[in-house]
Structure 1
Amino acid sequence: MAEERPLEVDNEPPADADSWDSQSELTSLRSSILEHRYENGRRYHAYRPGAYWGPNDEQAQNHLDIGHHLHNLLTGGKLYLAPIADNVRKVLDIGTGTGIWAIDFADIHPSATVIGTDLSPIQPSWVPPNVQFVIEDCTEEWLYEKESLDYIHIRGMYGSVGDWDALYKKAYKHLKPGGYIEHWEQSVQAKSEDGTTSGTVYEEWAELAWRAGDAFGKTLRIVDESKHRISKAGFTDVVEKRFKCPIGPWAADPTLKKMGSFNRLQQEEGLEGYAMYLFTTYLGWTREDVGVLLGRMRTVLRDPKIHAYQEYSAVWARKPLVEEQGEGKGEASAA
């Protein structure tokens, strides 16, 4: 245990004491948030360094935007599946990334105030007047008033949260009674109905990703856990909808074929970002080791004989009305 010492006061004024005012301090703090760090040829956020595994450079942003388009294909163009009111007022988008979902939501809900939070300052500066982007760590205490939010949207946060139960409890506390939470995730495991992924590097990739996430202390398995954990947090009318999304244009159905093409593109853009930080930091791999694995993965991604798909999950649930609270929880499911 570290020796406890009294907090000492620095009685020497800084060299630029005349300019050391609240404005200069604000500028300094803001500058530190906008900084980035570089590792293994990729750019990462400097605010809360190491809290998130993914890079935030242009390639990573392209990957996120492709993923947004893929979600639109999965849902037939719907930004959300929860039955929220048309006149929703205050919306929180956790892990907003490039902010594209928040902007699209704000466009179709002009009466709503949409707050997008993230560790990386990669959102555009020109946005609809009802959108606000905040650099914030969602695992820390939230500054919003209790029961002030109508809808909370979470997407693609696997490997980003150490305690999902605590996060869902915060969401419950800050939602208004009757408000909704919706959480989308994707699996890191590629499957196939005809067994063509068996014995391939797809299986190795999933095992490595799970192991790296566990070592990181932030699970990559939340796709299979969110329904149970959201229900445990006190939400009611819990619904889960799962999607099979092909990897590559191998499916006969035209819509699935298009989805597969975009999913493969998303994978190719994101492979290095998925693996580089976690594998080098938590599995002890070298950058060269990761490069070899990425090469093997790119080969199977382009193999038309392998009919791989990923599972996506969407879970939405409602905070009970005041008169319902304490009456128990209910779950439902959708195919």
Structure 2
Amino acid sequence: MLNVISDFADAFPSVEVIGTDISPIQPTWVPPNLKFEIEDCTQEWTFPPSHFDFIHIRGLVGSIDDWPLLYQRAFTALKPGGWLESYEISPTWESDDNTVAEDSAMGRWGPVFVEAGKKIGRSFTIVGDEVQRTGMEEAGFVGIQEKRIKQPIGSWPKDKRLKDIGTYGQLVMERDAEGLMMLMAGLSGWTKEDVTVYVAKLRKEIRSGKHHSYYRQKSLWGQKPE
């Protein structure tokens, strides 16, 4: 998320850019037109109505208990004619050639998050349930467009660009899998040892190159009427 904000600020140096998070974990070495504020988007927003020209929200899957309210708050904070972009991912690993079996480590990843989300009241099925489009339409956004993306995991794609993307995706998963899985699996009764064994199997499957896995991402953008 930080790279996205920094790149945006670099690309539009005359624009004031504000990044929000619930923790003060941001670096101080950022573009001069970028600043960070502590803000919990699940609480009442501190920004005044009709304040922003553009709002970008991403990576909130598993964190929001009321998505329609989130989009309504974004709608209120935008100026007439302003734009909202919502970018989210699905935790479910899929394949187009049936190389990701339901009982494989890859196949078990998504269900762990979906089940944990039900227990904490924070859905992980935002992409599959079309929550973004429905919430934005209900809030009043118009001209909604969307882009669907398949994010490969591993260097298996033949296309060079997708191969590079998949390689980075593999690096992220191999380095962060335990941290990503520990809390969610723990809610379903997994022990630390269970997670360690599972992640070892997951890494083995990724490195084999035999499983042509990907997960879905979806970006939607819409405009507040003039």
Q: Which TM-score tier does this pair reach, normalised by the shorter chain?
A: over 0.9
CA distance in 2, matches of 1:206, 1:126: 36
1:251 alignment partner in structure 2: 157
How far has the Cα of 1:126 moved from its partner?
Answer: 2.4
| Structure 1 residues 128-158: Cα deviation after superposition (integer angstroms, max 9, x where no partner) | 2211111221111111110111111111111
Cα RMSD (Å): 1.3
Question: Which stretch has the larger CA shift, 288-297 or 179-188?
Answer: 288-297
SS in 1 for 2:137: helix
Tell me the SS of whatever aligns to 2:91: coil
In structure 2, what is the equivalent of residue 156 of structure 1? 59
Instruction: Give per-residue Cα distances to partners, 1:100-141, cap 9 Å, x unaligned.
Output: 222211111111111111122211112222111112211111
Match of 2:199 among 272, 287, 294: 294
Equivalent-residue separation in structure 1 for 2:49 and 2:158 (angstroms): 49
Q: Percent identity?
A: 42
TM-score with structure 2 setting the length = 0.94
**Is the strand fraction higher in 1 or 2?**
2
- TM-score norm. by structure 1 comes to 0.64
Question: What's the CA shift string for 1:244-300, capped at 9, x where partnerless?
Answer: 1211111111111111111111222221222112222x2222211221221121111
Corresponding residue number in structure 2 for 1:238: 144
Q: Distance in 2 between matches of 1:270 and 1:181?
A: 30
Taking the aligned partners of 1:126 and 1:252, their CA distance within structure 2 comes to 37
Residue number in structure 2 paired with 1:126: 29
**Within 1, Cα distance between the matches of 2:49 and 2:197?**
49
Residue type at the aligned position of 2:142 = T
- Match in the other structure for 1:278: 184
Consecutive unaligned residues of structure 1, counting only runs of 5 or more, are 1-95, 322-335
- Secondary structure at the residue paired with 2:119? helix
Contact 1:146–1:175 (8 Å) recurs in 2: yes
Hey, what's the Cα distance between the residues in 2 that align with 1:255 and 1:155? 23
Bigger radius of gyration: 1
Cα shift readout 1:182-240 (whole Å, capped 9, x = no counterpart): 01112111111110102422222211110011112111111232122211211111111
SS at match of 1:243: strand
Aligned to 1:105: 8
The residue type equivalent to 2:106 in the other structure is Y
Q: 2:210 aligns with which of 305, 319, 333?
A: 305
Gaps in structure 2 of 5+ consecutive residues: none
Query: How do 1:144-183 and structure 2 match up within 5 A?
Result: 144-183=47-86
1:217 maps to 2:105: no
Mapped to 1, the partners of 2:57 and 2:140 lie a distance apart of 17
Q: Give yes or no for contact 2:112–2:184 (8 Å, CA) kept in 1.
A: no
Which residue identity lines up with residue 181 of structure 2 in the other structure?
A: A
